Amino acid sequence: MKFAIALFSAAHAPSSRRALLFAQAALAGGHEIVRLFFYQDGVHNASGSVVTPQDELDLPRQWRTFVTEHELDGVVCIAAALRRGVLNEEEAGRYQREAVAVGAPWELSGLGQLHDAVQDADRLICFGGA
């Protein structure tokens, strides 16, 4: 089965951990992940500037490792990211900001990427959000 996964919750939220566990289990079960799409507060899961306390799980690091190891398509909604100050080098330069929080393996792109993923997937699984 082909899955598209959308994550709407921040890095410290339980649903972010559940999303990662689901994605790991899906691949372990022989399924395919067409795309991971991080939207709303979910963009913080792709941020390299999140500092997690030592006694907590570092989900942004775990997501980055997971996406890199499995060569997955990890897309961060550009509008949601800009609104939250989660910028890549190109956007930081465009808006004259010093902070760069997103790099490889993430891609900043629009909601059209989620639409395309839904067209290619058998199921869209969403985590978090209201």
Measured CA to CA, the distance from residue 44 to residue 15 in angstroms comes to: 13
Give the domain range for residue 13: 2-127
For the chain, the domain total comes to 1
- Residue 71 corresponds to which amino acid? E
The CATH number given to whatever domain includes residue 17 is 3.40.1260.10
Q: Is 107 exposed, middle or buried (0-12, 13-18, 19+ CB in 10 A)?
A: middle
Question: What is the average pLDDT across 27-37?
Answer: 99
38: pLDDT strictly greater than 90 = yes
- How do residues 85-118 score in pLDDT, each as one tens digit? 999 889 888 999 888 888 899 999 999 999 999 9
Q: Which residues are catalytic?
A: 77
Decide if 42 contacts 128 (C-beta within 8 A): yes
pLDDT of residue 129: 75
How far from 82 is each of 10, 47, 125, CA to CA, in Å?
15, 12, 24
Question: Is the confidence at residue 49, as pLDDT, over 90?
Answer: no
